[in-house]
Chains A and B, each alone.
Chain A
Amino acid sequence: MAVYKKIYRPYAGPLTPGWRRFLTIPRYALEDLHRSRFLTIFYIATFVYPLIAAIIIYLEHDLSALRAFNADRIANLIHIDSSFFLSFLGWQSMLALFLAAFIGPGLISPDLSNNALSLYLARPFSRSEYVVGKLSVVLLLMSLMTWVPGLLLFGYQAYLEGGQWMAGNSRIATGLFLGAWIWILLLALLALALSAWVKWKPAAGALMFGLFFVASGFGAAINNVQDTKWGYLLNISNLMGSIWVELFEGGDPTSTGAAFFRVAPGQRLPVWSCWAAVLTLCAVSLWMLARKIRGVEVVH
């Protein structure tokens, strides 16, 4: 029917499957994000490090290229091992934190400040689907800059080095995948929780950084005053560093973590406590979301 024929008519056409409807949210959100030139440039820039890492892997296997630049001694400095991939994960994860701080606050707060949640939830669409839809925006973007290029690099190295290397270093691939997922899931949940509670976007973004840097400073103060190392439980980068080292190298690690996510020698907390702290943070974020994501807000 032509749209200018001003008649109301019921809808009798096909419906999309219920499980697929949450994908509507990331589709619209990504269209909106794409309009921001700054964000687009930043996001493209996050792929510089993976590109450099790919070049390094290539150079390690093609000495003739280094010889052409009279730089064959550099080959002795290149080691493609767990530290190489940990560094990669560390850099990309720090960039993911910036990305989460940029886009996270804008995901839920506009819906809350415009009372749009009642319209979302008045449809055959649950609160969980809403949160999963919003999470998927952040998770998709952060996946593409962390574990996806990480596994591609691993695959590239395995291709050049051979199947034996791949079999001997499969722990790196698992570590890349799981380590990145833990980090981006934590970031995404924190970003959404802060976005739901702090309606002013710049404040929510600042709070995201505050949680990482101020909390770690507070933890360091506790360590100094109490002469303990349990203050590191407030240091999220330390927690993640410990978990990553465990995932990459097992129970007998040789490295101290990744860039920005290092664990001071002798200050390592038991890994179970790091997992418990990260899971607690995730649980608190989910609780915060459950409190705010409602069709109507009841003021007691």
Chain B
Amino acid sequence: MKKPKKDFWGLLGGMSFLSSLMAIAVGLLVGFIILLISNPQQALLGFKAILLGGVSDMKNVGQVLYNATPIIMTGLSVGFANKTGLFNIGGPGQFIVGAYAAIYVGVNWTFLPGALHWMAALLAALLAGALWGLLPGLLKAYRNVNEVISCIMMNYIGMYLVNLLVRSTVYNQLKNESKAVAASATLPKMGLDKIFVAGASASSVNSSIFIAILAGIVVYVIVSKTRFGYELKACGFNSDASRYAGINEKRGVVASMMIAGALSGLGGALLYLGGAGKYISVVDTLAAEGFNGIPVALLGLNHPIGIIFAGIFIAYLTVGGFNMQLYDFVPQVIEIITAVIIYFSAFSLLLRGFLQQRRLRREEAALTAASAGGKEEEA
């Protein structure tokens, strides 16, 4: 009996990876058609800018990493909750309360020396985000409230609460936004601004990308290498079976939502402490980075390492979109492409099933052929 092969294909998640690629291909194709419709002469140049803009110079490479950071975090958040069978659409709320907590600490706690200051700010964001994930988790576990609805509610509550708090605690009245954080609360550049430059203009990339990647690795270890992660996954597959096996599935739901919230909250801190002139504007708009975690997690197949790459990919498209504007195209083309990619990745289940069935049938055929051959030898 041959051992089942665990090859490169299997490492990539096999069929799922293929279906993600197909969704991306369809998305890009739609994008190209839109460019063709709006301006046929410039379409090829614009499309080239989307495809290659992210690597056109070192500054843009840095911008890709900078843009990837927050959506990797929210993507990890969505992906982690998904392991427990929960759909965390509460990213925008968790993200913004995390950002606010970080800014509050960054502006006010100037008594903290040096690096301790930004670490405290990150910790505050982590806790605030966890709190914002805790409530939907508790409601889901103990009151049977659908987490999608409660997360949507928490998004708006978080947004209005942060607007209220920014105005009353860290308000820059002139610009209707939050104040700048102290220099000691700004995340270190770690020389990245020296590497990722084009001429005199440096990119906004900073150490936050390392924190995001580290978070991805931590999530990977928790999910794949610990008993806790195993229990969470078991709840996601079949909560009745895991309860029967002695797993406290209510606690799992609460913990999963808290960790997911903490990841999004940390993402908010990483964006607003990046020292790139980002401030919370007091407007009634949900944080887009929170929602963008959903496509990132979907494309990354809910796998932490996949999510890091998916985040970089979406950021790559975004930076390509900025470059595309040189040819007078509207930047929303990128959002349309992303939306199409998500729509078709929703189909991936069917495609995956179809491909898997074909493979199974082939393997079965091979097996019956092999066993038939074996019998002949015996005889």
Q: Do A and B bind each other?
A: no
